Amino acid sequence: MTTGLFVEDSGEGAIPLVLLHGFGGSHLDWREVQQALGEFVRCLSYDLPGHGGSLDYPDAGPAATAARAVLDDLQARGISRVHVAGHSFGGAVAVLMALTKPESVASLTLLAPGGFGEEINSALLAEFAAADDEAALGRCLRLMSGFEAELPDQLVKAASALRQKPGQAEKLREIASVLSKDGKQGRLPPHKLSSLDLPVRVVWGDLDTVLPVRHLDNVPPHFAVHRYRTLGHMLPHEAPAEMARILRYSMG
């Protein structure tokens, strides 16, 4: 059962929770959220194509490739139904999973998801992709976070360690050019978003410097919205206990 994707499978539970990180991250981005959820939630935390343990996955870059890859991996594992949570780029991947195979997705929790509007901070994305030491990475991550955020040291160290893998830095620069073209990101089709017939929660921070909070204006009215005045883009790190609380609501 090898699909070329790395996944950490931990905890216990009837319907697993799939966790999808953002651009430049890894499965480790969810560690604090998982700790807050506790051992009685089974979590499948992926390295998405082109990242970490999934660096060599073919054609990495587009969200559609990542969505298909995760769905194929779940099928290979014999898992027919999951809750899915995605942050930033992982949020767009989560939506595409639900649009591709809606019967497999019990709920969606989207943390500052990509694809809800064209605007994206391309300059910051490119700077993050090019950052090659802890100082540069720390600066980018602080810019991506709310003013009150105290980002854990291990976040910067994990981001730095990820880029030490041969070929990882080059791959991130390549993916960044796919995610943002001419200062814009690809947008998920509004009519398809509105067609999603499953519980969806969308979380955003007012201080998001990567994907503006005004993208919430494009969220279909039947999606539940959680908006936070003091949070930025790095929601799993800025408020892991609160994100875990929202995930528990999503999973019923």
- Residues 87-130 have pLDDT tens digits of 999 999 999 999 999 999 999 999 999 999 999 999 999 999 99
Q: Model confidence at 150, in pLDDT bands (50, 70, 90)?
A: confident
* Mean pLDDT along residues 7-25: 95
pTM for the full model?
A: 0.97
Interatomic CA distance for residues 119 and 129, integer angstroms: 18
DSSP 84-130: EEEETHHHHHHHHHHHH-GGGEEEEEEES-TTSSSB--HHHHHHHHH
Domain ranges in the chain?
7-251
Any residues with CB less than 8 A from the CB of 38 and at least 6 apart, and which?
11
Question: Which one is predicted more confidently, 181 or 205?
Answer: 205
Task: Enter the CATH code of domain 7-251.
Answer: 3.40.50.1820
* Side-chain half-sphere exposure of 203, counting CA atoms within 13 A: 28
- Residues 163-204 have pLDDT tens digits of 999 999 999 999 999 999 888 999 999 999 999 999 999 999
Interatomic CA distance for residues 217 and 142, integer angstroms: 26
Percent of the chain with pLDDT over 90: 90
